[in-house]
Every structure is written in C-alpha cells, then in structure tokens.
Amino acid sequence: MPDPTIDQVLTPKPEARLRIYAWSFNNPSPDYAGLIKVGQTLQPDVNTRIRQSQGQAQQAYTLHTPKDCFAERPDGGVFRDSDVRQRLIAKGFDNPHFGGSREWMRCTPADVLTAIVELQAGVELSGTHHETFPMRAEQAAAVEQTYAYYQDRWAEDAKAVPRFLWNAKMRFGKTFTGYQLAKKLGVKRVLVVTFKPAVEDAWEADLKSHQDFEGWHYLSAHAGGDPATVPADQPLVYFGSFQDLLGRDRATGNIKARNESIHLTDWDLVIFDEYHFGAWRDSAKELFEGEDSAVVKEADRLEADLDAVNEELEVLSEAETEFLPIKTRAYLYLSGTPFKALATGEFIEEQIFNWTYTDEQRAKAGWAGEGHNPYQALPMLSLLTYQMPDELLSIASGGEFDEFDLNEFFKAKGTGVLAQFEHKDEVQKWLNIIRGSGPAQAIESLKTGTRPPWPYSDVRLLPYLNHSFWYFHNVAQCEAMRNLLEEPQNVFWHEYKVVVAAGTAAGIGLDALPPVRKAIGNGHDTKTITLSCGKLTTGVTVPQWSSILMLRNLKSPESYFQAAFRVQSPWSIKNPEGDDPHAEFVTKPNCYVFDFAPTRALRQLSEYGIGLSPGEPNPERAVADLVSFLPVLAYDGANMTQIDAGGILDIAMAGTSATLLARKWESAMLVNVDNDTLRRVLDSEEAMAAVEQIEGWRNLGDNVIETIINKSETVKELKKKAKDGELSTKEKKELTDEEKEYKSLRKKVQEKLIKFATRIPAFMYLTDFRENTLTDVITKIEPDLFRIVTGLTVADFDLLVRLKVFNTERMNAAVFAFRRYENASLRYTGIDSHEGLTHIGGYDTVVAKETVETPA
C-alpha cells in the first residue's frame, strides 16, 4: 500500500447521528390495524426515510416520534431500532412478522416513546447476552495457534504447564478472544490477573454481553463472589489484580482471608493481562510519577511487590509453578507492547502470536472478503509534531539532546484552584499558538504564504478535537491547566468542558471514568478536554476521544503508545438505515497524536517501530513499515511537511554526537542477563566456550552462570518462606547474603558483556564497510579484524546473538545510529557510503512530500 497522503491524513471528519422513528398508517388495512413501525436512519429528515421505505405505494401516515429522536445512550453509545422492539417485546407486546419485515409492533405510541426514553436513559435490556458477532480471522488464528501449542506440550508431558504470548495491540479484542480460547479448551476455571486493575471493565463486559458465554460466571473483588460457591461443572472467570492477590494481612502476614479460595482453586487457565507492566521499572512507573502522594505511595508499595514478581517470572518453570502460589494447567500472556519479553527470548517463536497496529491497518486497507469489512471502523493514527518558537524553547530546553523539556515548560505548583504554572505567561502563549493566533505564527504565515494545521485552528482538525485527551506529567499541571483555561481571557476554551482525571479526588482506576463519560454525553452536543497524568491511559474505551496532546516527557515507547492508542477506539454506527447488515457509518476515520517536542516524539516512534518488528534487522525498514500506516507531519517553524522513515530517523537522532553514540554502546539495555538467557548459554557448550573468550570473564570464577542461577533459586525459596513467616534468624542472614552475592555476580557478568559490546563500534570504525545492521556486522565484515578487536570470532558472536545474550533490536539501533553518524561525517569530507549493503532510501533524506496549508 502506498504511504498515506496529506489529504488522507487530514480527512474532514464526517458528521451524522442515528435517529429512531415510529409511524403508523392513517388508514391501515386490517393486517396493519393497531401496528406501529419502528425504524432508524442517518438521514436528518426521518420523513424522507419513511417515504423511501414505502416505495411507490405512498400512503398517508402519522409520525409518533420527534423528528430529532436520537438513538444515543448516556455514555455516547448508540442503540438500534431492534433494541426498542426488544424492549417492547420484553414488556409483553406482540411483534408480528410480514414476510422478511420484523419492524412492526402492536402497541401504542406512548409505549414506543417509553421504550425509547428508557434506552436513552441507559436502562439495561432484559437478558444481557445479546452480542452474536464471530471472531475475526486473526482472532481465530490466535486461538488455533495457542490451542495447538498447548496440546503439543501436553502430548509431550501430561504435567507440563505451557506458556503462550499474544503480542496484540489494543483493539485486537484480547478479552473476547481469550474467552474463546478458554471455551475451545473446554475449561471451567479461568483466572485473569493484571498489573492494571482498570482493565476489569472490558473483561466483565465481554463475558456478560456475548451469547457464546451464556451460563458463565464472572467474579472479582470488585464484583464480589467466592469461586468456591460456583458448581464445578459451570464455567467461572475470576478477575484479580497482582496488588490484591499478592497482598497479605498486615497483622498475621497470611494471605488475605477473602483470597484463600482463589489460592486453593485448581485453575485450568491463568491469563496475565497487560503483561508489559511486569517490566515495572522500565515503563509502567512512568504512569504514576505525576500522581499525588497517596497514589505514589501505592505505586511504591506495588513496585516492591512487582520486583519480587519479576524475579519469580524470570525462573517460571513449565513443569512446576508456585507463583502467587496458584495451580494451573496453562498460562496465557497478553500485551500490546511486550518488547522486553521479546528481546530477552522469554518466549520462543512458536510461543508467540503477533498482531500489531500495522497488521490491523494492512488488513483494513487490503480487505477483499465478502460483506462487511470488520476493520473499517478502526481509525488511522497520525502523528503531528510542532517545533515551538525560540521564545518558548529558551525557557525549557536541556537534557542530553538539548531539546524542549515539556515537564519543565508545564511545571506547576499549588493544588486545586490555587494551582498555577511557573511559566504561566509562556503557557498562555502556547495556548494561543495551538489556536494559530500567536504573533510569531502570523508573521511566519505572511512570509511563507501558508498556514500550517495548528490543532485548534485548522477546520479539518477541529472536529477531531471536540473530545481530546491532554496528557501531563503531574496533578498540579492538570489543575493549573484547568484554572488557566477557565480564566476570562480564554473565551475560546470556555466552549470546552474540562475534566481533571488526576489525583485521588478523581477516584482510583475506573472510578475516574464516569465523570468523563458524563461530560462527553452523546459526543455530538458537547466539547470536552480530559486532563490526566496517568489515569485512563490503559484499559478504558472512550469512542469520542479522537486526539491526544502529549504534554509530558515519556521515556519508553510502551508508555507513549499505550496512551496514544486510547484515541484509536472505533466510533461508528452499524447498519444505520436498518436494511443492510454490511453497511457501517464511520464517525471517526482518523485520530491524531499532537506532540510539541519533535525530536523526542520521533525517537519514541522509531523505537516503537523497531520494537514491533523484532525479526526485521534494518531499523529504517521497520520504521518505514509503521509510518506507511501511521503517517507523520512535522512543523519546523515555517512549514509543515510529511516525512518518511529516513527523515524520522534523522530527526530522532538529531543532536547525536560521538559521546552520545558511545553511551548507546555502554547501555545495560544492550545485554540480557536474566535467568532464562543464562540458562540458554549454560546449556550450550559452544556458547560457554564463547563467553569464556570475553576479556576478564575468567576472573569471575568458575561456574559463574550456574552459581547465579542456583543462588537466585535459593533466594526465591527463602523469600517464599519469609512470606509465610517460616525463616529463622540464621536463614534471614542467609537470604541477605545470598541475594547480595548473586546480584553482584549478575552485575559483573553484565559489565563484562557491555565491555565487549563497546568494542563493536571500534571495529566498525576500522573496517572499510558501512554497516547498517547487526546482520551486516556478523556477515559482511572482516572476520580476522573482528576477532583482533573484540576477542570473539564472528561465529561466536552470531551464536550469542541468536541466544539473545545481546538485545538484537537495541543493538541494531545502535549499529544504525553509528552508521548514520559515520556516513554524515564521510559525506562532509566527500566520501560516499560503501555500496552493496542493506539500504532503504537515503540516509540523509528528509522528504518534504507536500507542504500542508490551511484551506481557504
């Protein structure tokens, strides 16, 4: 598929609302006496639709509903004419059929209006299992692949406890598909465990709404219920959080009494949801950094628990698991960004099902099946970045890349109505700028003759900002922004209802969602801005959110895109006229991420693209694949242009110096020293012989890898005894000593591997080749020179790479960064890159495909 054009990126947002209507003939035939027809339409004039439905035999009729009777629920969702009829049937009214027509009801106009009002008010229909949709092709494939793997493992070993990972982006339908897997397995006890309790909303709704799960029981700490009370022959799903299930009674140190039956139950399947949050220190803690003291305290407590969880997950055995401790037959791991698990080789290829954003959008673009395109309503995400004027950059630039610091720029103090930005005047200028009304923007527009699409000024973008999410660093910033938007000079912003979804006052987890949904309502008659510093960035669906403003620094692409994908929820009306089940009106074809720190944003995008394609050795090709479906527009202070993968990598590496390149090769993220990786090395004689050739390795002592694994196992056992209060004073000292020793040894191993990694750029500098990827280093270099510089043979290095001792994706990025830096230096002196190596586009290509202007 060709890359999206600017016109596709800035597609005007379609507007339509579903209307319900009811009418009856003025002079009905005997068959239609006392009957009222209930229908629906997107057409603004329901009478036009009624006349169309009558065809050529036009007859006089009476309309019993208002012309603008909208089929909209309080949360912004829509109901259908069939829901109205179902409501009437549930009350005992007759629904006669005339051939294929089922729209007629034998009731009074008042009965119809009552049913409509009840649905508009959010009254539940009788019988909750009303959904009937089948699995999409990729969902069915995930179930079949996982089922087959489990069966193979159990055939090999009846006591095996297999593990499988679904690397599936948000909107894959992991809850529905996970339940379908459980159904295919024929299991009766399913435990869903998560690091993010806010995702419970989806797990409960999917089980209770689809007819495939009629008769299943749903229990949780929030919903109530004891697994022991559900008959053994009836399917049960229990939803729990690590925070709760790891928790102990403070007085006795025992498992919480209400969780005892969970620990005693023999579970058939345990599902770890939002699994990437297990890599707590790498990404998830960012989501809590800005919350107030009570939330931070809870996060700190949870971090300590998760450190122990991570330690246990590292040595999780398929044959015997004492995690939590809970017994199960199989594990399923779910994550949209499991980059760490993929990089460390925690799951091998046959244990992974992949479904990424690019897979989804490629399926949408290439749909050639019959009937309805199931991907049609999934909007395309676009990233728009803006370079701020010098007057704003000057007050908040710094860091290793000397770039715009969003946390500093929006720095705030105070609480509640007293919260204020420290750079209030500059933040006010920023508010004016994003409306396109800043003086500098006016001057640039006069100079260039163009007006770039500022978020709150471009007529194509404004409708997508009717309901937006502004993502800040902490609670004070959220409250300061609300206060500023409410000041008298900001008349434009008074059209928007501002909701602060931050801090304990907003509620914990899902409790922060109802005020947002109430403010948005049907989404058509309202405008809202949701301010958050972490809440509602995972596990929630708000269809009307169409844009997110990234107003904080985020270090990890996992956190960045978990938040960004909040606005990619579908918003559409299926079968709008009630006469074509394959028809769908898409209210939100596009959605947008707006970022005001371009270098940082594009660095996140490039890392995300590379992380999505662990099998792709060339970073530029990986990024190119992503941006073919996630286009990027960048404003440089004068023009906004669309840029390609090469341009994105150039900007992402802007400011890269030899010093910064050296830091890339000194990063602990380049090597993996977890137990799984060390076991793979220990089990290979060739790998053990290879690592022993690394400088200084022998100084670590004999059997260092085996010692680390054994001591970590000992520590695990002692920690479990400590939780149960069974440690003696001697054992407590042993625990401390053992833990210190194995962690110290692990760090020394890591340091030796990093020291080896730093030799690679030295080798690349000496060789005549211009390496693009790690594959180039392994296959296209001078083997004698490589051994002299690094101490290893090419074959040894290749083996360690395949065993995941080195993080392939991060090392590829480091190789690629070195190559681009080296090429730029060589081109400056008139020397071109070596031909014949992997190459996509120009290494110094920033393609200004089109200049974006505001339409007249």
Are 254 and 391 members of one domain?
no
Are 239 and 152 members of one domain?
yes
d(CA 7, CA 753): 49
* CA 149 vs CA 163, 165, 330, 477: distances in Å: 9, 11, 11, 48
pLDDT, residue 710, reads 85
End-to-end Cα spacing for the chain: 30
> Could you tell me which residues come within 8 angstroms of residue 650 by beta carbon, excluding any fewer than 6 positions away?
820, 843, 844, 845, 846
Answer whether residue 750 shows pLDDT above 90: no
Task: Rounding to the nearest 10 degrees, give the CA dihedral for residues 146, 150, 156, 158.
Answer: 180
pLDDT, residue 179, reads 95
d(CA 44, CA 37): 18
- Cβ(267)–Cβ(191) below 8 Å: yes
Cα three-residue angle 294-295-300, rounded to 5 degrees: 100
pLDDT, residue 307, reads 39
* CA 467 vs CA 497, 560, 591, 696: distances in Å: 9, 19, 11, 58
Mapping DSSP to helix (H, G, I), strand (E, B) and coil, where does residue 259 land? helix
Give the pLDDT band (50/70/90) at residue 188: very high
Spatial CA neighbour of 407 closest among 607, 602, 600, 667:
600
Task: Rounding to the nearest 10 degrees, give the CA dihedral for residues 738, 743, 744, 748.
Answer: 140
Give the pLDDT band (50/70/90) at residue 370: confident
What amino acid occupies position 447? K
CB atoms within 10 A of CB 15: 8
* CA 303 vs CA 195, 280, 282, 284: distances in Å: 11, 7, 11, 10
Residue matched to tokens 């409960």:
204
- Find the farthest-apart pair of alpha carbons in the chain and give their distance in angstroms, rounded: 100
pLDDT, residue 117, reads 86
pLDDT, residue 287, reads 37
pLDDT, residue 794, reads 83
Are 689 and 552 members of one domain?
no
Q: How large is the average pLDDT for residues 483-490?
A: 96
Give the pLDDT band (50/70/90) at residue 14: confident
Are 423 and 543 members of one domain?
yes
Last-in-domain residue among 324, 355, 386: 355
- Cβ(561)–Cβ(626) below 8 Å: no
Question: Around 234, how many Cα atoms within 13 Å sit in the side-chain half-sphere?
Answer: 12
Are 471 and 536 members of one domain?
yes
Q: Across 92-101, 594-603, 739-748, 828-837, which has the greatest mean pLDDT?
A: 594-603
Give the pLDDT band (50/70/90) at residue 803: confident
- Note down the domain range covering 542: 378-599
Q: Is residue 694 part of a domain?
A: yes
Answer whether residue 202 shows pLDDT above 70: yes
- Cross-strand partners of 191: 238, 270
Are 582 and 481 members of one domain?
yes
Give the pLDDT band (50/70/90) at residue 697: confident
Q: Is residue 322 part of a domain?
A: yes
Residue matched to tokens 């200049």:
851
Average pLDDT, the chain: 79
For 270, the token pair is: 């345990």
Q: Is residue 185 part of a domain?
A: yes
Q: Is residue 615 part of a domain?
A: no
The CATH number given to whatever domain includes residue 587 is: 3.40.50.300
Are 154 and 105 members of one domain?
no
Are 492 and 566 members of one domain?
yes
Are 327 and 462 members of one domain?
no
Q: Is residue 229 part of a domain?
A: yes
Plot region of 690 (φ>0 → left; ψ -120 to 50 → alpha; else → beta) = alpha
- Cβ(69)–Cβ(18) below 8 Å: no
Are 502 and 580 members of one domain?
yes
Answer whether residue 759 shows pLDDT above 50: yes
- Cβ(655)–Cβ(402) below 8 Å: yes
Peptide bond into 325 cis (omega under 30): yes
Residue matched to tokens 């049937």:
89
> Could you tell me which residues come within 8 angstroms of residue 42 by beta carbon, excluding any fewer than 6 positions away?
16, 17, 18, 19, 573, 576, 577, 585
pLDDT, residue 397, reads 73
The whole-angstrom distance between residue 756's C-alpha and the CA centroid of its chain comes to 35
Are 302 and 420 members of one domain?
no
Per residue in 596-633, pLDDT (tens digit) is 988 889 888 988 888 777 667 677 888 888 888 999 99
Angle between helices 729-757 and 759-766 (to 10 degrees): 10
CB atoms within 10 A of CB 690: 23
Q: What is the number of structural domains in the chain?
A: 4
d(CA 65, CA 110): 10
> Could you tell me which residues come within 8 angstroms of residue 418 by beta carbon, excluding any fewer than 6 positions away?
none
Are 297 and 183 members of one domain?
yes
pLDDT, residue 142, reads 97
What amino acid occupies position 520? I
pLDDT, residue 13, reads 85
For 725, the token pair is: 């209060």
Per residue in 410-461, pLDDT (tens digit) is 999 999 999 999 999 999 999 999 998 866 555 555 455 567 789 999 999 9
> Could you tell me which residues come within 8 angstroms of residue 497 by beta carbon, excluding any fewer than 6 positions away?
519, 526, 527, 528, 529
Last-in-domain residue among 53, 88, 120: 120
Q: Torsions phi, psi of 406, nearest 5?
A: -65, -40
- Cβ(614)–Cβ(342) below 8 Å: yes
Per residue in 557-603, pLDDT (tens digit) is 888 988 999 999 999 988 888 777 778 899 999 999 999 988 889 88
Q: Is residue 332 part of a domain?
A: yes
> Could you tell me which residues come within 8 angstroms of residue 382 by beta carbon, excluding any fewer than 6 positions away?
4, 9, 590, 591, 592, 593, 630, 631, 632, 633
d(CA 284, CA 624): 27
d(CA 295, CA 302): 10
- Cross-strand partners of 471: 532, 550
Q: Is residue 437 part of a domain?
A: yes
Question: Around 739, how many Cα atoms within 13 Å sit in the side-chain half-sphere?
Answer: 13
Q: Is residue 737 part of a domain?
A: no
d(CA 646, CA 289): 33
Q: Across 34-38, 347-351, 748-752, which has the greatest mean pLDDT?
A: 34-38
